[in-house]
Each structure stands twice: as structure tokens, then as C-alpha cells.
């Protein structure tokens, strides 16, 4: 019974790790992947499952760092940030799928045929959906913020999103149980934003 309980707990923690990383990717595609690569290469905090060791490759880390630098700048410039969000509609969900897969030992890509022929693709698909949902919220909210603040809010919102992405990535890898608090907070924030937007429309009408 104890062994079974521990196995279930490990699965839940892996799922929380994957969910946290995928959600983080919805805000910034490169931060969670870079966190995974750096921590797996230079520390003993995490050990990547089979098939995901390439994330710890030095060249991959260097490329992710360069892409992150471009993303950080582009996402803080009004108008350019919206254009960047269009491009990231593909990149962020893809990164979310990769991050969720790397965060769980059940998803491997050592055998592509076996990967798609079994349930190994499920964690990757879940990561794609989570990142896509978060990206959709971000991409929808950013034009509203830009218009409401005459563009001043863009760098502030982007910086906050980057900080949240960094914190979520680290917490997901180090203490995944806390990801529950982040996910609940995001749901509450989304509900609040929807209600506030509805109230504004009613006042405008």
C-alpha cells in the first residue's frame, strides 16, 4: 500500500511539474525550457527523463538564451508585442508541450513510433493545451492594456509576466506542490479580468 501511495504521489508531482512548466511557457516560451536545460546541466536538482537530455546540451541552452533575449525585448514594445504574440501562437504551445514532456518520465521520444502509438503523447498534448490557453489570455489582454495605458503598460505587464514565468518554472522544478497555488491564482485572475471587462462594457453601453 505504501509503495502504491508513493507511486501515485510521484505521478501527481510530475503532473504538477509539467503543468507549471507548460503554464510558464504560455507566458514566455523560452524561460521554462532554459530553466530545465540549465538546472539539468549544471546542478543535481533535476534529472531529465530518457529522450529529453538534449535540453541540457550547451548549444541548445545558448540558442534558447538568444531567443529569450529577443523575446524579452520584443514583448515590451507596444504594437511589436502584439505582432510577437501572433508568431508565438505556435511557439509557446510547442514549448509547453516540450516542457510538460520533459517534466514527466512517462513521455519519451526515444522511439517515435512507440511514442505516437501509445499514451506517451498525452503529457505533451496536455502541455500544448495549457500553454495555448495561457497564451490566448495573454495575447487577448495585451492590446487592452496597451490601449488603456497608451502603451505605457506594455513593458510593465511584460516584466511581470517574465517574473511569473521564471518563478513558476523554478517552483515547478524544485517544489511542484506549490504550483497548485499558482494555478488557482491564475484562474481567479482570469475570472476577475472577465468580470471587469464585462462591467466596463455594461457601463459603456
Express each pLDDT in 17-63 by its tens digit.
888 899 999 999 999 999 988 988 888 877 777 677 788 889 999 99
Higher pLDDT, 22 or 189: 22
Domain count across the chain: 1
- pLDDT cut 90: percent of the chain above it: 20
Phi, psi of 129 (to 5 degrees): -65, -45
Which DSSP string corresponds to 111-123?
Answer: -HHHHHHSTTHHH
Boundaries of domain holding 171: 2-204
User: Coil, strand, or helix at residue 154?
Assistant: helix
Helix, strand and coil in the chain, % to nearest 5: 80, 0, 20
Is it the case that residue 92 has pLDDT exceeding 70?
A: yes
Q: How confident is the model at residue 203 (pLDDT cuts 50, 70, 90)?
A: low
The set of long-range contacts for 110-113, using a CB threshold of 8 Å and a minimum separation of 24, is: 110/50, 110/51
Q: Give the closest residue to 129 by CA, choosing from 87, 161, 88, 100.
A: 100
pTM summary value? 0.79
Separation of alpha carbons 101 and 67, rounded Å = 21
Find the largest Cα–Cα distance for the chain. 60
The model's pLDDT over 109-127, given as tens digits with 9 standing for 90+, comes to 444 444 445 556 677 888 8
Average pLDDT over residues 175-187: 77
Taking each helix axis from N to C end, the angle separating 30-42 and 153-174, rounded to the nearest 10 degrees, works out to: 40
As given in the structure block, the three cell numbers for residue 105 are 518520465
Ranked by mean pLDDT, the top range of 89-98, 134-143, 171-180 is 89-98
**Residue written as grid cell 489582454:** 141
Amino acid at each position: 500500500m505504501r509503495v502504491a501511495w508513493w507511486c501515485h504521489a510521484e505521478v501527481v508531482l510530475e503532473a504538477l511539474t509539467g503543468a507549471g512548466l507548460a503554464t510558464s511557457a504560455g507566458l514566455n516560451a523560452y524561460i521554462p525550457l532554459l530553466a530545465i536545460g540549465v538546472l539539468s546541466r549544471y546542478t543535481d536538482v533535476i534529472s531529465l527523463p530518457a529522450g529529453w537530455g538534449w535540453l541540457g546540451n550547451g548549444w541548445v541552452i545558448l540558442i534558447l538564451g538568444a531567443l529569450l533575449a529577443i523575446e524579452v525585448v520584443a514583448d515590451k514594445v507596444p504594437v511589436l508585442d502584439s505582432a510577437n504574440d501572433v508568431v508565438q501562437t505556435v511557439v509557446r504551445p510547442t514549448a509547453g508541450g516540450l516542457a510538460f514532456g520533459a517534466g514527466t518520465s512517462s513521455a519519451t521520444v526515444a522511439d517515435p513510433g512507440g511514442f505516437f502509438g501509445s499514451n506517451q503523447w498525452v503529457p505533451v498534448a496536455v502541455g500544448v493545451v495549457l500553454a495555448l490557453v495561457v497564451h490566448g489570455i495573454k495575447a487577448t489582454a495585451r492590446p487592452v492594456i496597451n490601449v488603456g495605458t497608451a502603451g505605457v503598460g506594455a513593458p510593465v505587464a511584460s516584466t511581470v509576466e517574465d517574473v511569473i514565468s521564471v518563478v513558476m518554472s523554478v517552483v515547478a522544478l524544485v517544489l511542484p506542490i506549490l504550483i497548485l497555488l499558482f494555478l488557482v491564482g491564475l484562474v481567479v485572475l482570469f475570472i476577475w479580468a472577465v468580470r471587469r471587462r464585462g462591467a466596463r462594457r455594461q457601463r459603456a453601453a
